Structure 1
Amino acid sequence: MEARVHDDPETFRPLAMPLLAADPVRNTVLLTAAESLSADSVMITLHDGDDVVGLVTQVLPYPLVVTAMPIEAAELVARTVHGVRPQLTGSSGVVAHVEAFNAAWTELTGATATMQFGSRLFRLGELVPPKVDGRARQAAEVDLPLVTKWRDAFMAETFPEEAEAQAKRRPDSDGVIILWEVDGQPVSYAGARGPYAGMVRVAPVYTPEELRGHGYASAATAAVSQWALDQGAEHVLLFTDVANPTPNRLYPRLGYEPLDDSVEYKFSN
């Protein structure tokens, strides 16, 4: 197997995209990352003769994503990454692939790998909307201050290390936002991105703490999932925090089925 380093997204994408598109569900994060590549990204393809058989990439400031790396290539990938990004900050992806890369990386560099969080990928089967008081509507420009406030609260609660960067983006800049209302007042919201490569990814889902416990998040999630289906999505996906039992119980009731577990690690010397 041969590893090739690329310094231009325009040469990397034509090699990477067919491989990623062949399994868009498992590679959903990588497909998103491929749209954000720049000259300072890590872009490595793995070749077996004329065939592209794997890849890894890193879009700063995020970790290296190794889901599409063949496990048996872990040592080769670690050496190659070290040549272009010796101060790699972390790794992420499907558990078995991350564990293989981390073993090779820590052996090579002497770094310590510390897990930051784990997530679970779900795919929608048959949608089962809950029976919850209220109605759904798509957010409008007038809702932007409220949605921004809720988005920032979600990020601070769930991904505090990314909250500042996300706060600079408009919540509706690359997807749709569905509000769930009761008596004309928004009580929860769910966002979605796509369709892309036949996929829509649902995120974020947020209900203010004082309004939780009424099924509003379930209703908003079901509504945005129906929106995704109406757009022609072949796959409707979402991620949960493995350590949070509430969403891991909630989403299967709506028809979501668990697939892969992923992890993110931080490296330190």
Structure 2
Amino acid sequence: MTVTLHFHADPVEFLGAAGDHLAADPVVNTVVASVAYRMAARRADGIALPADDWWLVVRDDSGAVVGAGMRAAPFPPRPPFLLPMPTEAAVALARTWHGRGERVSAVNGALPAVRACADEVARLRGGRVEVAQHTRLHELDTLVPPAPAPGALRLAGEDEVDLVGTWFGAFMADADEQAGRPRGASAHETPDRDDLLRRIRSGRVWFWTDTAGRPVHLTAANPTAFGVARVGPVYTPPQQRGRGWAGNAVAEVSRLLRAEGARVCLFTNQANPTSNRLYARLGFRPVVDMANLVVVP
């Protein structure tokens, strides 16, 4: 198969070129689709986007779109995110980066494309590929309500942005620990205050509160893209775990999202058996395995 790579600087232009492809499998394509819409909304609000962001459309020799990806991560080393694509395209992408001097030391996304791309990056620049994290994307099938827990779900308020930020950061620290990295290694992935405020104002951050009204758990969701809403992060402070807060919050958030007409999905870290069992009990079913890969000397 002959493939061609088409890079776009404008997420709106990218959505125009790849929208039908993204919509054809909107759960698998959720990350790139939701980020593209979020960046397009920022641009419409007059917020400048990084000049070196790009959005990728892969076409076969008939002109049909057969893959997509992006480099829009706001945190170092700004890993590209690849959706499923032919192996030829994943290898060609690594060679294109190498040819134009674009340094890439980490690649995230769908297997096996992301592995083929990372392997070619390592071959061209030297080094080896290591797995930073194995993830699995799940979609909610039939929601199975958990045993009721005391308390209630409510939206986070703008005056709670500091607590939201702290718990987003703690979620990332837990992910580091589960992946065998030092706690805090991914702190740079926590959204900044303005981004957190935008998420709160959009009504996509919730707290589960105990019977005294105190927040004991956080569940968030991304804006719906092509009819799919992705839940995450999901975080309970250590001292509050084992009380049913997470299961009840995710079930209630999922019910609300479905009431809006959205399909619901989420990612799990394959190194966290507790969360994988929880989501399976709620009715989430595996869709595709993904990985965060790094190229080390």
TM-score relative to the length of structure 2: 0.81
The alpha carbon displacement at 1:59 in A equals 1.7
The alpha carbon displacement at 1:167 in A equals 5.2
Q: Give the structure 1 partner of residue 35 of structure 2.
A: 33
Query: What residue identity is the alignment partner of 2:32?
Result: L
Aligned residues: 268
Q: Give the structure 1 partner of residue 155 of structure 2.
A: 138
Question: Any idea what SS the aligned residue of 2:247 has?
Answer: helix
**Correspondences of 1:1-269 after superposition (within 5 Å):** 1-6=2-7, 8-9=9-10, 10-35=12-37, 36=39, 38-47=50-59, 48-60=61-73, 61=76, 62-130=78-146, 131-159=148-176, 160-164=184-188, 166=190, 168-169=192-193, 170-174=195-199, 175=202, 176-183=204-211, 184-233=213-262, 235-269=263-297
CA offset digits 1:174-222 (Å, max 9, x no partner): 3512221221222212111222210111111111111111111111111
Of 110-119 and 51-60, more deviation after overlay is shown by: 51-60
Give the percent of matched residue pairs that are identical in Structure 1 and Structure 2.
Answer: 36
Question: Any idea what SS the aligned residue of 2:169 has?
Answer: helix
The alpha carbon displacement at 1:33 in A equals 3.5
The alpha carbon displacement at 1:243 in A equals 0.4
Normalized per residue, which structure has more strand?
1
- Structure 1 gaps of 5+ residues are none
CA offset digits 1:126-185 (Å, max 9, x no partner): 112212222222223343343333223223332534424525235352351222122122
Question: Any idea what SS the aligned residue of 2:290 has?
Answer: strand
Does structure 1 conserve the Cα–Cα contact (< 8 Å) formed by 2:90 and 2:117?
yes
Going from structure 1 to structure 2, the CA distance change for 1:84 and 1:32 (only over 3 Å counts) comes to farther
Does structure 1 conserve the Cα–Cα contact (< 8 Å) formed by 2:3 and 2:89?
no
Does structure 2 conserve the Cα–Cα contact (< 8 Å) formed by 1:7 and 1:39?
no
Going from structure 1 to structure 2, the CA distance change for 1:34 and 1:187 (only over 3 Å counts) comes to same
Query: What residue identity is the alignment partner of 2:196?
Result: P
- Structure 2 gaps of 5+ residues are 40-48, 177-183
Query: What residue identity is the alignment partner of 1:52?
Result: V
Query: What residue identity is the alignment partner of 1:41?
Result: D
Query: What residue identity is the alignment partner of 1:54?
Result: G
